[in-house]
Amino acid sequence: MNSFHCVTCSDEGVPMRVAALHDDPDLAICVDDDGARTEVMTALVENVQVGDRLLVHAGTALLRLDGEPEATVPRESSA
Amino acid sequence: MKFVDEYRNPELGQVLAERIARTVDPGRHYKVMEVCGGHTHTIYRYGVDDLLPGNVELVHGPGCPVCVIPMGRVDDGITVARRPEVIFSCFGDMMRVPGGDGTLLEAKAKGADIRMVYSPLDALRIARENPDREVVFFAVGFETTAPSTALTLMRAKAEGVTNFSCYCNHVTIVPPLRALLESPDLRLDGFVGPGHVSTVIGARPYEFISADYGKPIVVSGFEPLDVLQSIQMILQQLAEGRCEVENQYKRVVPYDGNPAALRVLAEVFELRPHFEWRGLGFISQSGLKLNDAYAEFDAELRFEVPGVRVADPKACQCGEVLKGVIKPWECKVFGTACTPENPIGTCMVSSEGACAAYYNFGRFAREREVV
């Protein structure tokens, strides 16, 4: 979590990787890009596995960030 | 870094900037609002606005959840926090938001037991560890953080935790957008739509913006190229006479959102008849409260909450900044009496606030613009 992260409300998605599953099926231990470990609620994302990359808001995973990022070469406009 | 570098490539940014320059009509002034504070932060951190032609103006919207909290709600929270049996928990900088009667941080300095947490789950843990105390969580945020509060309350109910409650200040994004579109003093050409809120609600709820108001909206990611590309897509729509909901952030935002998240919101919350927004006044059906099934966890029912209403300080122009009527540096107290160290208004508190973004990234030496 860098100094530009908004800690005011945690209303900013933090990408995290699942490091370990939890005894509670709706929780997982996740690690952010800086190595900080957090318990994250995963009830809103199906079938979370170790190694999955999740978008986490306020301690809850909202979705899985899977696959390669789409090409960022912008589409040429028709105009 | 993977997933990041691709979206900060300066050469691609230049390509997009040139395309934007070719798309705009030099004789027209464009006003585009970025709704989300995260986008405001990206724009000023990376200088996205410097890549835009002079006739493309970015207007900063009300999408920072802290900035829209009215002072009275902070004061009500402080009243609860001062109770001797209460451990009051909240997200970081919420502690620095000034109410009419000081901040939570000042209340903590005077002895109130106020603790910073990173998630509502942390607050629930504090409740389990302190069964003889009442733990209250100050819930704030849009549809991004509301699912977290909802899941925590469902967990508290399932576990039978009785010393935990929620002071709910969650808000929803669509009603203030409608209020802005109805506002007579603000003429906007299009919207950069919020990214992460849309992971929950999807892009479909924005269809009224194009259908009823004839404006384009592009749901955008948070990297500088995301924002630049979204602005280009809006300008492209305008150039072609289109007004549609487009999704630039498809790698993250499904058009229909996250149905599981929407289900937990419906399970726990209901809409308040109206809720006060800083600078925007009361907006009907824009705030969430706990529904009857979760009323036992509602701090406003459990404790005596005075329902304070406080007018914003006269010198503070957060309201006009939040509506995009003035730019932060046009506020009388910007950078002088109001700084991130000693904020008068909420827009200077959160790093997502428009004023803090301007201040922190050196955008305070501009000429006053006549728009």
User: At B349, is the pLDDT very low, low, confident or very high (cuts 50, 70, 90)?
Assistant: confident
The residue written with tokens 């991130």 in the block is B340
- The mean pLDDT value of chain B amounts to 90
- Confidence check: pLDDT of A79 > 70: no
Secondary element (H or E) of residue B165 = strand B164-170
Mean predicted confidence (pLDDT) in B337-352: 82
Top mean-pLDDT range of A56-70, B30-44, B184-198, B284-298 = B284-298
* ipTM over 0.90 threshold: no
User: At B371, is the pLDDT very low, low, confident or very high (cuts 50, 70, 90)?
Assistant: very low
Residue of A nearest to B8 (CA): A72
Q: Phi first, then psi: give them for residue B269, nearest 5 degrees.
A: -110, 160
Cβ distance B164 to B268 under 8 Å? no
Neighbouring CB atoms inside 10 A of B207's CB total: 12
pLDDT value of residue B166: 98
Mean predicted confidence (pLDDT) in B237-243: 97
Of B198, A25, B202, give the one whose Cα is nearest residue A40.
A25
Using a CB-CB cut-off of 8 Å, the residues of chain B touching A33 are 1
Give percent helix, percent strand, percent coil of chain B, each to the nearest 5: 40, 20, 40
pLDDT value of residue A17: 95
| Residue A46 distance to chain B (closest CA, Å) | 9
Of B280, B281, B285, give the one whose Cα is nearest residue B205.
B285
Using a CB-CB cut-off of 8 Å, the residues of chain A touching B148 are 41, 57-60
pLDDT value of residue A75: 45
Asked if B5 reaches chain A (Cβ–Cβ under 8 Å), the answer is no
Higher pLDDT, B343 or B143: B143
Dihedral through CA B107, CA B276, CA B220, CA B23, nearest 10? -130
Cβ distance B88 to B111 under 8 Å? no
pLDDT value of residue B368: 46
pLDDT value of residue B278: 82
Is B10 buried (19+), middle (13-18) or exposed (0-12) by CB count in 10 A? Answer: exposed
- According to DSSP, the residues that pair with A54 across neighbouring strands are A16, A64
- CB-closest option in B2, B7, B151 to A41: B151
Structure tokens at B235: 């300008």
pTM score, whole prediction: 0.88
